[in-house]
Amino acid sequence: MIPSAFDYVAPSTVEEAVRALAEAGEDAKVLAGGQSLLPVLRMRLAAPSTVVDLGRIAELRGVHEDGDRLVIGAMTTHYDVQRDPLVRQHALLLALATDTVADPQVRHRGTFGGSLAHADPAGDLLAPALALDAEMVVAGPNGRRTVPAEDFFVDYFTTALAPDELLVQVRVPKFSGWGAHYEKFNRVAQAWSIVAVAAAVRVDGGSIAEARVGLTNMASTPVRARGVEEALIGRPATAETIRAAAQHAAEGTQPVTDANADADYRRHLVEVLTSRAVTAAAAG
Amino acid sequence: MTATIEPELGRPRRRKEDARLITGRTRWTDNIALPGLLHMAVLRSPLAHAKISRLDAEAARSMPGVIAVLTGTDLAEQQGSLPCAWPITPDMASPQHPALAVDEVRFAGEPVALVVARSAAEARDAVEAIDVDYEDLPVVLDMEAALADGSPLVHQDLGTNRCATWVFDSGEAGTGEDVDRVIAEARERGDVVLERRFRQQRLIPAFMEPRSVVVDPTGEQITMWSATQVPHILRLMLAMTLGVPEQKIRVIAPDVGGGFGGKLQVTPEEVLTFLAARRIGRPVKWTESRSESMVSAHHGRDQIQRLTLAARRDGTLLGLKVDLLADMGAYLGLVTPGIPILGAFMFNAIYKLPAYRFSCTNVFTNKTWTDAYRGAGRPEATYAIERMMDELAAELGKDPLEVREQNWIKHEEFPYTTVAGLTYDSGNYEAATEEAKRLFDYQALRREQAERRERGDAVQLGIGVSTYTEMCGLAPSRVLGSLSYGAGGWEHAAIRMLATGKVEVITGSSPHGQGHETAWSQIIADKLGVPFEDVEVIHGDTQSAHKGMDTYGSRSLSVGGVAAAMAADRVIEKASKIAAHLLECSEDDLEFTAGRFAVRGTDRGTAIQEVALAAFAAHDLPEGVEPSLDAEVTFDPENFSFPHGTHLCAAEVDTETGRVRIRSYVCVDDVGKVVNPLIVEGQVHGGLAQGIAQALYEEAVFDEMGTLTTATLADYLVPSAADLPTFTTARTETPATTNPLGVKGVGEAGTIASTPAVVNAVVDAVRHLGVNDVDMPCTPMRVWHAIHRGAGAAPTEMATGAEAGGGLGSIDGGDQ
Ligand SMILES: Cc1cc2nc3c(=O)[nH]c(=O)nc-3n(C[C@H](O)[C@H](O)[C@H](O)COP(=O)(O)OP(=O)(O)OC[C@H]3O[C@@H](n4cnc5c(N)ncnc54)[C@H](O)[C@@H]3O)c2cc1C
């Protein structure tokens, strides 16, 4: 379908973008890769008065190191995240999760920041960001602030971003040397997750020294499976430990019932997938 | 010029039409731009059943760029009723089917008003500004509920939701015994009597090119371009529905991007574009969005099947009784009521069945209307019988292939008249099955299956069988007549020999992705002995291809291709007279090979191109011979064609998650003689993808309000190559004896055969866990629930189908 008419601005700096948002008021929308926004506009589920395109802001693209952090620009495409050697080295989990997003066409346009800002609980990059304790750098009329992932995801399609704020970059602690795995369960290749589990573990002398587990689509926001993490840490990386730990995966989750999965099935799936994700992460 | 030409028949040529189709640099309807073109958009009902109590279009009329806003009331006098050409019984309840709803809407997606504006965007904006008040009416969605006493009615004036009941009974027809007696006797003797209820979920054809129509009223004729499979039928039906003289309408199907039966229709939007353009006096275009297509283009399948199969303990079939409910949706389209009836002759499949009864009740519900979808009635039938054969094998503890072989028609028994009254001309089920087993390594997979069961692996292996036949090449006109179908099943072809020796082939068959241009060129190049490149195929325009019955029902090659071949024979006959005259010999002394008329026993001869030039010049023709080699043929087949084959599927079921993964898929199809093996391969692959899609992925789901919740391709899961296994395909070749090319249809075979093969494999993998059925599509959740609820089938309506999944569909938030 054809979207309602809107004004279009394409600023070349973050400051201009923030000003453009402030001027346009509540009705403005930020455009990143457009892979989620354009369908919404075309189906007329939203009719913004102004669209602020971030595509020309060079600062927002690319990955670099900053001490013990990796800094990923919000406008870095899925394709660039997938291929970035720094991401593979220091945040393997993120690279692996990005590999499972959509199809090559979408990955060439869709962005890391766009996915996080969109905050679809079925989106694949939220749980890894949460599990890895990423921090969101947000720019607004009063300058920049940093929001930890835990506080960033608020509800379905809702983040801590104010309407006049932009996500500019994501700072991820380095997890060099950790094993990682993203176990995604969906029905066709290009689809979002029905349930997925993001796991990163550091195995030391045959036992699990540290573990991070994040869950996709088990609530209105990504969920950190702390019960699983606790049950893993300090234990031998064996099938039994992992299976036992995975029994905690559904704790505190609030899965929905939809056409692909009812809540019971999701609670069951998350245990199976957690076990598989941690096993693979511990092996790799 | 007698270069030896390699035979074209059987040559795997790449398709000459592909470059333009794939790049989109071609005449798709939406690519057509005319001077002064206006754009139409359609307002659709958001409700499944309601009275339109008020419709206010004033605001829309004053929006920028708007030329006209039309409502059902405005068009009530002119729009007539959309045609249904297949009244299956004399007493069929047949509702009015207005293109624009006048005072009541009966499914969500039904057109309510239209806007014509200077741009497509302005038309869309104005549609949003139309204000409609609806008064809710009770909604009925379930067929069994619709037939119950006191059910709300979809059409109040019909007084019932029962459209028609159509019965075939072999006892009454004299083609077999009385099945009720046979089943009763079987019960008494303690033979096997199996009863099952299967659901054919509703599917959406999901062709790649959305529907599009352009109408230009500025000429002596009104010209319509439409993304249709049936330009000829469309012209006739427009004339009959709208009362416009047929010769004043020209319909063009330019390049069309897929149809699968979904464009075998006379659509409301075609009628509306026509009426709007005529009223305004300027060309108008309508192109649908994907979600519009999903809710309003006709759907397919949607049956509840109750089956009773009787067999002796040794596996010999005794009788089959079929009771169907078929969902029409809210209205009848072009052939809606006849679709399930096409299955009536196929439930007996390849088996020698002594007694058979088929009964189908067509039912109205407040859902999108249904009609043809790839296979149309035959996939439903094949699914039912092939699932039943596996159930019978399980009941008897026999190998499913053994039970089939015990009952199928042996190759030396052809021609064979079945219990449904059809005569199968040829086939060799043994050969296809033998080859399939070999390619599949059947025994090794059975061994692995046993080992996995033994070990209690988390991932179990299942093997599914489908030995199918189907009737296609629609169809002998007298058979269609006996089924009360509104037209014949012939096809027309003509050949124009140009002065330069080049050839134009005109076909009434209407390709929309099948590759007619390549295949017809191969046939004619071979027949006339001219280079492939010299043949041009003309189609899809009622002015140039003036006569035709179009493309559906795997009929193009076996009816239309045969007509073209026969027209070529006539060209040769005509040319032969002129050649004999030029060579000063008797026609009997001429021999025509590889494009050359040669005088037997001499080295004298002339090429057909030279004869064409002589005919054109007409300076020196024999007495009484017209100056033309052009010829035409209208061919009416004497019988259907009956492709058959054996499909074997190995599926792995992850019992922890319920996920099904197809590990290997082998099909050996017998489609008779093959013109182009590459095209056949393509048809088989696409067919398999759609058949597997029904087994595992696709389903049109409505919520309890009657809203389609799978209205985007994020929710309606069409699998891609990434989701499908590598197919192992092979062919046996038993020529059809009922047409001179020996060809059979291949367009639907893959779809018809594959669905039961896959579901049989899924059930086979977990049967030892107490499962004897899983509803389609076999989603991971359904399979998992079936396993973990233990014995029996998964419940028909799973937990809920009401909400769409994550991603696009959950854009406005999910709920708990
Ligand atoms: C066919 C298809 C399949 C898909 N499959 C998957 C999948 O399997 N897994 C998955 O995770 N995703 C999937 N996606 C979504 C895809 O990953 C999108 O790219 C992503 O959700 C949004 O990123 P974008 O850059 O396109 O953002 P846009 O669509 O441009 O924006 C999305 C939303 O975020 C806001 N936004 C974007 N950037 C910023 C910013 N820097 N600051 C503030 N707000 C911002 C926008 O205003 C908008 O509301 C799929 C998409 C499609 C079309």
Does A241 contact chain B (CB < 8 Å)? no
What does the pLDDT read at residue B3?
A: 52
In a domain, A98, yes or no: yes
Note the pLDDT of residue B810: 39
Please report whether residue A207 resides in a domain: yes
Residue type (1 letter), B551:
T
User: What pLDDT sits at residue B159?
Assistant: 98
In a shared domain, residues A119 and A194:
no
Query: How much is the pLDDT for A26?
Result: 84
Angle at B402 between CA B396 and CA B406, to 5 degrees: 95
User: CB within 8 A of A225, min separation 6: which ones?
Assistant: A197, A213, A214, A215, A248, A249, A251, A274
Per-residue pLDDT for B773 more than 90? yes
DSSP state of B283: -
Domain with CATH 3.90.1170.50 in chain B: 36-137+208-258+263-296
The pLDDT, as a whole number, for residue B796 is: 42
Distance spanning both ends of chain B, measured CA to CA: 78
What is the distance in angstroms between the Cα of B812 and the nearest Cα belonging to chain A? Answer: 8
Give B150-204 as a DSSP string: TPPPSSGGGT-SEEEEEEEEHHHHTSSB-HHHHHHHHHHHT-EEEEEEEEEEEE-
Q: Could you tell me the fold of the domain covering B425-468+642-816?
A: Aldehyde Oxidoreductase; domain 4 (3.30.365)
Q: How far is CA A154 from the centre of its chain?
A: 13
Where in the sequence of chain B do the CATH 3.30.365.10 domains occur?
A: 18-24+490-635, 140-204+299-413, 425-468+642-816
CATH of domain B18-24+490-635: 3.30.365.10
* Same-domain check for residues A75 and A140: yes
CATH architecture of structural domain B36-137+208-258+263-296: Alpha-Beta Complex (3.90)
pLDDT, tens digit, 9 for 90 and up, residues B558-587: 999 999 999 999 999 999 999 999 999 999
**Nearest residue of chain A to residue B658 (CA atoms):** A269
Q: Does A76 share its domain with A168?
A: yes
If asked whether residues A28 and A73 sit together in one domain, one would say: no
Listed residues A132, A158, A173: the one ending a domain = A173
What CATH code is assigned to B140-204+299-413?
3.30.365.10
Instruction: For residues A11 and A105, state if they share a domain.
Output: no
Average pLDDT of span B320-341: 98
Q: ipTM surpassing 0.85, yes or no?
A: yes
The answer to whether residue B485 scores a pLDDT higher than 60 is yes
Residue B795 CB neighbours (<10 A): 12
Do A202 and A219 lie in one domain? The reply is yes
**What is the pLDDT confidence band of residue B540, given thresholds at 50, 70 and 90?**
very high
A104 interfaces chain B, CB cutoff of 8 Å: no
Interface check for B701 against chain A (CB to CB < 8 A): the answer is yes
Helix ranges (DSSP H) in B627-721: 677-696
- As a whole number of angstroms, the distance between CA B493 and CA B513 comes to 19
A2 within some domain: no
Per-residue DSSP letter, A192: P
Atom of ligand 1 lying closest to residue A37 CA: 29
Residue-level pLDDT, tens digit, chain A, 284 residues:
899 999 999 999 999 999 999 999 889 999 999 999 999 999 999 999 999 999 999 999 999 999 999 999 999 999 999 999 999 999 999 999 999 999 999 999 999 999 999 999 999 999 999 999 999 999 999 999 999 999 999 999 999 999 999 999 999 999 999 999 999 999 999 999 999 999 999 999 999 999 999 999 999 999 999 999 999 999 999 999 999 999 999 999 999 999 999 999 999 999 999 999 999 999 97
Tokens 């399609």 — which residue?
A157
Question: Using a 6 Å CB cutoff, which residues line ligand 1?
Answer: A 29-37, 54, 74, 101-102, 106, 110-111, 113-115, 117-118, 123-125, 161, 166-167, 190-192
- For residue B655, pLDDT over 90 is answered with yes
**Environment class of A178 (CB within 10 Å of its CB; exposed 0-12, middle 13-18, buried 19+):** buried
What is the domain-level CATH number for residue A20?
3.30.43.10
Task: Give kind and range of the element (H or E) at residue B432.
Answer: helix B429-440
Average pLDDT, chain B: 95
The string of pLDDT tens digits covering residues B138-156 is: 999 999 999 999 999 999 9
Instruction: Give the per-residue SS3 of B191-250.
Output: CEEEEEEEEEEEECCCCCCCCEEEEECCCCCEEEEECCCCHHHHHHHHHHHHCCCHHHEE
Q: What is the CATH number of the domain that holds A243?
A: 3.30.390.50
Q: Are A24 and A68 in the same domain? A: no
The domain that holds A125 is classified in CATH as 3.30.465.10
Residue B5 pLDDT: 61
Tell me the residue range of the domain where A136 lies: 61-173
Contact (CB<8Å) B805/A1: no
- On whether residue A26 sits in a domain, the answer given is yes
What distance in Å separates the CA atoms of residue A128 and residue A124, rounded to the nearest whole number? Answer: 8
Ligand 1 closest atom vs CA A120: 21
A-chain residue closest to B783, CA distance = A265
Closest C-alpha residue for ligand 1 atom 39: A114
Given pLDDT bands bounded at 50, 70 and 90, which one contains residue B792? very low
A163 and A191 both lie in a single domain: no
Q: What is the mean pLDDT of residues B502-514?
A: 97
Query: Chain A contact for B802, CB < 8 A?
Result: yes
B799 lies within 8 A of chain A by CB: yes
- Burial classification of residue B735, based on how many CB atoms lie within 10 Å of its CB (0-12 exposed, 13-18 middle, 19 or more buried): middle
The count of structural domains within chain A is 3
Output the pLDDT for position A1. 82
